[in-house]
């Protein structure tokens, strides 16, 4: 009998599979089609201090081996998440959930995290300093080690739960930024967020996305994500949540060998709403195929020898 469980910042998860923020709503939508308690956990819809409508449409563009999105952090704001979304989630999900938080200033991040910190169902924070789809925040923090450290320090002052900082691949040296977050008390790092990309409509000769550029995700970015997880694992002592192009149980194992303790599935949820369930169902068979008895034992295994 193989062991699919992992421990993420002191919290045991039945498996390392986590639907990524922005691809799983607040969970109860997916609970209508399968029992989401099979998940390790999930990262809920990116939440900001105030309600956001998001970017103008069109927000989505298809690409070979992936997709572009520029949703722009549409969400009801932290107060309504607490009063409306979390009570509905509690009815269908009986594990700790990951709270994804975004902001446009250091004060925004701290305010939203402080408000959510008292919610018992939240087990971890995932602080998104790397969204490429908003102006005046997000990516501006994620591309500077100094700014990333400042956000980490501010959030840590007002929270009692593990804080994972979600990092951008749109940088020269992701290792430097991960180390800066670790130095200010981050409990872990999540990587990678989407790559910045665009598409142009040949008929109109204009960008397809109203925002012109957006976040590129899907299978095509997996080699980049693996490389960055591998590099960061060598540089920090805190756990890593790996993501980027994950669509199979084999992808999960590959990401864990690179150094991830847990793995997020993003774009694939939009292609197949059963993606995470299927990955979890297939994990034991794939582990047996590759003679893996425990997932915990393979974390960072590609660094040995």
The CB-based long-range contact list for 283-286 (8 Å cut-off, 24+ gap) reads: 283/2, 283/4, 283/15, 283/17, 283/249, 283/252, 284/2, 284/4, 285/249, 286/249, 286/250, 286/253
CA neighbor of 265 nearest in space, from 282, 249, 281, 288: 249
Residue 131 is a catalytic residue: yes
Other CB atoms within 10 Å distance of the CB of residue 264: 32
Per residue, the 3-state secondary structure of 91-143, as one string, reads: CCCCCCEEEEECCCCHHHHHHHHHHHHCCCCEEEEEEECCCCCCCCCCHHHHC
Other CB atoms within 10 Å distance of the CB of residue 283: 22
Residue with structure tokens 């250091």? Answer: 106
CA neighbor of 229 nearest in space, from 194, 195, 257, 187: 257
CA neighbor of 297 nearest in space, from 282, 287, 289, 283: 287
Contact 187, 243 (CB under 8 A): no
Catalytic residue among 63, 92, 131, 276: 131
Q: How far is CA 30 from CA 85, 268, 269, in A?
A: 14, 14, 10
The pair of three-digit structure tokens given for residue 56, joined into one six-digit string: 């103008």
Cα gap 83→81, rounded to integer Å: 6
Residues serving a catalytic function are 131
């Amino acid at each position: 009998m193989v062991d699919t469980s992992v421990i993420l910042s002191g919290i045991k998860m039945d498996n390392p599979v986590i639907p990524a923020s922005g691809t799983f709503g607040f969970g109860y939508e997916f609970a209508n089609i399968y029992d989401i308690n099979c998940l390790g956990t999930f990262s809920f819809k990116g939440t900001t201090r105030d309600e956001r409508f998001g970017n103008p449409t069109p927000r989505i563009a298809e690409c070979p081996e992936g997709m572009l999105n520029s949703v722009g952090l549409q969400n009801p704001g932290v107060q309504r998440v607490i009063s409306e979304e979390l009570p509905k989630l509690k009815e269908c999900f009986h594990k700790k959930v990951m709270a994804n938080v975004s902001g446009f200033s250091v004060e925004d991040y701290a305010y939203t995290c402080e408000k959510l910190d008292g919610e018992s169902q939240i087990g971890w924070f995932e602080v998104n300093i790397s969204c490429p789809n908003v102006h005046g925040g997000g990516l501006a923090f994620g591309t500077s080690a100094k700014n990333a450290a400042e956000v980490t320090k501010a959030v840590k002052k007002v929270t009692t739960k593990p804080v994972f900082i979600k990092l951008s691949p749109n940088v020269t040296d992701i290792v430097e930024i991960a180390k800066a977050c670790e130095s200010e008390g981050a409990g872990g790092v999540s990587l990678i967020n989407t790559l910045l990309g665009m598409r142009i409509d040949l008929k109109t000769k204009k960008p397809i996305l109203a925002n012109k550029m957006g976040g590129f995700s899907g299978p095509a970015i997996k080699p980049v994500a693996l490389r960055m997880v591998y590099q960061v694992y060598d540089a920090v002592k805190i756990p890593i949540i790996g993501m980027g192009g994950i669509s199979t149980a084999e992808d999960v194992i590959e990401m864990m060998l690179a150094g991830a303790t847990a793995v997020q599935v993003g774009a694939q949820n939009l292609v197949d709403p059963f993606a995470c369930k299927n990955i979890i169902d297939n994990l034991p068979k794939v582990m047996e195929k590759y003679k893996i008895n425990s997932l915990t034992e393979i974390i960072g295994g590609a660094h040995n020898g």
